[in-house]
Amino acid sequence: MEEIRITGEVESIIYENKENGYTVFSLTTEDDEVTCVGIVPQIHTGETLEIGGKWSIHPVYGRQIQVQYYEKSMPTTKSGMEKYLASGLIRGIGPKTAKKIVERFGEASFYVIEEKPEQLAEIRGLTYEKALQISQIFREQHELRRAMIFLQGFDVSPAYAMRIYKKYKSRTFDIVKTNPYRLADDIWGIGFRMADKMAAEAGIQADDPNRVKAAVKYVLNQAAGNGHCYLPKEELAEQAGQLLGLHPDFVENALRELQVDGEIWQENLRGVTAVYLNFYFYAEMAVAKRLLELSGERTEQSMEKTAREIAAVEKQTGVILAEEQRAAVQEAMSRGVLIVTGGPGTGKTTTINTILRILKKEDVEVVLAAPTGRAAKRMTEATGVEAQTIHRLLETSFLSDDSRRQTFERNEENPIEADVIIIDETSMVDLLLMQSLLRAVAPGTRLIFVGDMDQLPSVGPGNVLKDMIRSQRLPVVRLAHIFRQAQESAIIMNAHRINGGEEPVLNEKGTDFFFLRRTFGEDVVTAIRDLIVKRLPGFTGRDGMQDMQVLTPMRKGLLGVQHLNSVLQQALNPPQEGRKEKEFRQMVFREGDKVMQIKNNYNMAWRVYNAMGKRCDEGAGIFNGDEGRIQSIDEVNETMRVVFDDGKVVDYDFSQLEELELAYAITIHKSQGSEYPVVILPVHSGPPMLMTRNLLYTAITRARELVVLVGLPETISAMVANDREVGRYTGLTERIQNLDDFMREAEE
C-alpha cells in the first residue's frame, strides 16, 4: 500500500498507553479529520503533527493511518496554544488557567512558561512555586519532543526512541553522539547492529575503541544464545573482526580494557584462552561451589533400614525394582546431591515414586519441580504429587524497566522450605537458572536431579546435566535396564537403538512406530497434512489439533516450522465467518490457533480460573516454550487472549505479538520437556549440523503413543550415523573438578 504524508492538528486522544507510547488519536487536516494509530508518545491536543504512514481498515474505527514516523511542532496560534495547555499536559494547568495564560501573554505564552516562569505568578491563582513547577514540566516535555525528533533522525523507530529517552532523559543527545554502543547494553531490544548504524551516522570512526568493545560483547552474547558460556579467544577475535571489518588485532586491546572494566574474564582452559562475559564465569564458579558444598552433606541412614523400606514399597505396589533402581533409592536417602539419569523405559519415574513413598512415611517435606509448565504437569501426573516450574518455585520477580533482568524472591536469605528437592528434566536447566536454584537451597536440604543426559541440552547457555555427570565428582546412578513393558514399545526400543548408533526397526506390525516413504519435499508436506487431518484421527481416535504435534529440525525451508505452520493452520483452523484474526509481520493469528511463547517474559501477567469461572490464582512470567491456544481476539482494545496448557490465561497487547508464533509445527529444540500422544517428524533433507542422532533421539522420545516418520530412509540412516554432538563451550566440568581437588587438599 502506498505511503502517505499529511500535516494536521491533534484534535483528540482516543486511547493512550503511557508505558509504550501506543496512541490512537484524531488529526484535523485542511480537508478532513482522520484517525491515526501507532507509537506516538506524549502528544496533546492542539499540537501540530506531520505524520507518515499507510492506510488500513479497522473493523470498529474504520479507515485509519498506521503511523510509521512523525514530527511534532508546537502550536503557534492562540487557539492552538490554549488547547495544548488545557490538554492535561502540565499538572496544575486546567482549561481555565490555560485560557488566562494565553489571554495574558498571547503568542509569547510558551516563551514565558519556559524562560520567564516568574511572570506566570502574575496570574491570579498561581503562586511563584507553582509557576516554577509548571515551567519545569514544560521544559521536560519540550526535551522529550526534541529527543524523539533527534532519534528519528537516526532512523530509530518511535518505540525504541521512547525506551531510549526514558532511560537517559537529558543525557540522550550526548550518549547517542559520543557512544551509542551503550544503548546495546542498556536498552532492551537494541543490539550492536542498530547501535552501529547510529554510530556511523554520528560520524564515529570504524576503529573507535567503544565500537570494538561493543562488537566483542555482541559476539559473546550471540554465542550465549547458541548455548556457549565462553568462546576461545582466536574464534572470538575472528568473528568480531569480521563483524567490524577490521583486523583481529584490534580486538586484543578491547579485551584488555573489558577485563580491566570487569566485563569479561579470560583464563586458560583445555589449552585455549577462554573468554567469558563475566557473569557466566561467576555463574560456573558459583554452581560448582554450591554443588560440592551440598554434596558434602550426608544424612546418616543405615542401608538395612532403607532396604526394608524398599521391600515394603515393593509389596505395596507390586513393582520389583532393578538393582540400579535400588542403588538410586539407597543413595537418595543419604546423599546431599544425587543425579539419576537414564533413557526412556528405564524406570526413572518408578524410582522417584519409591523415593517419595519412603520420604512420606518419614514425614519429610519434599518439593517437586521441572523447567517448564508441561514438564511439571507430566511430573505431577506421574507421581501424584504437585510439581511446579522452577521459576514458580523460586518465586520469580522482575524489574519493570527492563524485562531482561530477572530476579527471584527465593535466595540465600529466603531459601526454599524443603528437606528434599527433586528436579525432573534436568537436561533443560541452563547455567543461570541452575545458579539461581542452588542459591535458594538451604544447607541440609537434599537435591535429587533426574534427567536423560542424551537429550538435547538446554536452550540457554551451558550443558549443566552432562557437565555435572562428566565431572565424576558428584554421585550419579545410571538406569540402563529397559523394563519388559517398555520393551513392548517400538518407540522406546527404537529410541535406544538410535542412541546406541543402530538403525531403528521400521513398520513392524502392531507397533507404535511407523515410517512413510516420500521422495519429494512437497509430498512430505502433503503426507503430514493428510495424516493429521484424515488418517491418524481415524486410526488412533486422537484429535489432530489437540493431540498431534509436528516436530521438525529446521525453522526455514519447505519442511521448516514457518511453512508447515502455514499449511497446517489452513488445514486445521481455516478462515471462517465469525472467527476473528490478526495479521502480524507476515503471520496470521486466528482464534483457535495453537501458539507458543518464544521468549522469556518475566513480567507478563497471568491468571488462572476455576471450573466456575472464578479467578483462583495469578502471577507474572510466561516462558520460552510455553504452549497454548488463542481463545479470543479483541479488535477494539487491541488485545489477544491466550489460554496456556497449564491453565494460565494471558492477554497480549497487539504490540506484544512478536513474542508468539504458531505451534502446529515446532522445532525439536522447543519440544524439550514436553510429551505428546502423537509425534510426526519429517525426515527428508537438511544441513548436517541439524540432522543429528541426538536430534532424532530427542524427537522420538517426545511421543507417548505413536511416532510417524515421513521422508527418506537414507535420511534416517544418515541421522543415526551423524553422532557428532553440537559442541558447547562450557567450563563447569573443570570448575567442579578443580574446586573439589582444592577443597580436598585444604582438608589434608
Query: Residues forming the annotated binding site?
Result: 345-349
Helix (H) or strand (E) holding 393: helix 390-393
- First-to-last CA distance in the chain? 77
* Residue 685 Cα to chain centre, angstroms: 28
- Separation between Cα atoms, residue 691 and residue 678, nearest integer Å: 21
Q: If 0-12 CB within 10 Å is exposed, 13-18 middle and 19+ buried, where does residue 390 land?
A: buried
- Say if CB 607 and CB 649 are below 8 A apart: yes
> What is the b/e burial string over 526-562, where b = at least 16 CB atoms within 10 angstroms of the residue's CB?
ebbbebbeeebbeebebebbebbbbbbbbbebbbbbe
- Say if CB 454 and CB 343 are below 8 A apart: yes
Is the four-CA dihedral 480, 486, 489, 492 of positive or negative sign? negative
Q: Which residues define the annotated binding site for ATP?
A: 345-349
Dihedral-angle region of residue 303 (phi above 0 means left; psi in -120 to 50 means alpha; beta otherwise): alpha
CA separation, residue 19 to residues 41, 79, 374, 658 (Å)? 9, 30, 32, 17
- Separation between Cα atoms, residue 743 and residue 436, nearest integer Å: 23
- Say if CB 591 and CB 631 are below 8 A apart: yes
- Say if CB 266 and CB 278 are below 8 A apart: no
- Going by their DSSP bridges, the two strands 649-653 and 639-644 should be labelled as antiparallel
Q: Which residues, 6+ apart, have CB-to-CB distance to 225 below 8 Å?
A: none
503 DSSP 8-state letter: P
- Say if CB 233 and CB 255 are below 8 A apart: yes
* Residue 714 Cα to chain centre, angstroms: 35
- Separation between Cα atoms, residue 289 and residue 465, nearest integer Å: 15
Question: What's the grid cell of residue 494?
Answer: 527404537
- Going by their DSSP bridges, the two strands 396-398 and 615-622 should be labelled as unpaired
- Separation between Cα atoms, residue 11 and residue 5, nearest integer Å: 18
Question: What's the grid cell of residue 376?
Answer: 511439571
Q: Which residues, 6+ apart, have CB-to-CB distance to 707 below 8 Å?
A: 491, 494, 512, 513, 514, 678, 679, 680, 681, 700
In 154-191, alpha helices (H): 158-168, 172-178, 182-186
CA separation, residue 679 to residues 342, 489, 536 (Å)? 21, 15, 11
In 425-508, alpha helices (H): 431-439, 464-470, 484-487, 490-499
Closest to 651 in 3D by CA, of 724, 601, 717: 601
CA separation, residue 245 to residues 181, 184, 207, 211, 219 (Å)? 17, 19, 9, 11, 14
* Residue 60 Cα to chain centre, angstroms: 33
* Residue 129 Cα to chain centre, angstroms: 48
Is the four-CA dihedral 569, 572, 578, 580 of positive or negative sign? negative
- Separation between Cα atoms, residue 524 and residue 712, nearest integer Å: 9
* DSSP SS3 for 454: coil
In 267-383, alpha helices (H): 278-295, 303-317, 323-332, 348-361, 373-383
534 DSSP 8-state letter: I
